[in-house]
């Protein structure tokens, strides 16, 4: 059940906008470029006003889950143990040292605005929010916090 929830969370979380043709590769690279192994994902439920609804849940991930951010401003999220990566992918654009936008190539209608919580040479944490309906009627959002390492 946990794996189904995590897959659903990742798939819906990165339903993102159309490819921005204006993105230019970063010639000198950027701080998020590289392969980042996902250590855990924390899910925090909020109501529509931002008030915390319940306790957060932390999901420890298998060591083969990762994000790959490339210098050409493309990304891949791999959630399979296979040698050939499979999963969500698309483009990204850096806003500054505090945020970036993910664009999913399969669902190009909603960009995912992400906030960089911490970033070093060996660790990376970011968050984003995804709207939801609790019990199918009560609006709110889920906040996802990804904790990763190189």
Q: Would you place residue 132 in the very low, low, confident or very high pLDDT band (cuts 50, 70, 90)? A: very high
* 5 has a pLDDT exceeding 90: no
Answer yes or no: CATH 2.40.128 is held by domain 2-149.
yes
pLDDT of residue 19: 39
* 141 has a pLDDT exceeding 50: yes
Q: Would you place residue 13 in the very low, low, confident or very high pLDDT band (cuts 50, 70, 90)? A: very low
pLDDT of residue 78: 94
Q: What is the percentage of the chain residues whose pLDDT exceeds 90?
A: 66
* 16 has a pLDDT exceeding 60: no
Q: What is the mean pLDDT of residues 86-101?
A: 92
Please, which contacts does 107-116 make with residues 24 or more away whose CB atoms are closer than 8 Å?
107/14, 107/15, 107/16, 108/16, 108/17, 108/18, 108/19, 109/15, 109/17, 109/18, 110/15, 110/16, 110/17, 111/16, 111/17, 112/13, 112/14, 112/15, 112/16, 112/17, 116/32
């Amino acid at each position: 059940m946990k794996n189904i929830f995590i897959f659903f969370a990742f798939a819906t979380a990165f339903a993102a906008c159309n490819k921005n043709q204006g993105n230019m590769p970063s010639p000198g690279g950027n701080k998020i470029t590289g392969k980042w192994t996902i250590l855990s994902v924390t899910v925090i439920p909020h109501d529509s006003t931002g008030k915390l609804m319940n306790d957060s849940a932390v999901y420890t991930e298998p060591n083969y889950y990762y994000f790959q951010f490339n210098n050409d401003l493309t990304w891949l999220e791999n959630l399979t143990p296979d040698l050939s990566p499979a999963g969500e992918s698309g483009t990204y654009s850096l806003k500054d040292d505090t945020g970036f936008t993910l664009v999913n190539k399969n669902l190009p209608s909603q960009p995912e605005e992400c906030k960089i919580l911490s970033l070093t040479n060996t660790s990376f944490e970011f968050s984003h929010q995804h709207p939801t309906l609790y019990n199918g009627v009560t609006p709110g959002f889920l906040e996802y916090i990804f904790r990763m390492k190189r």
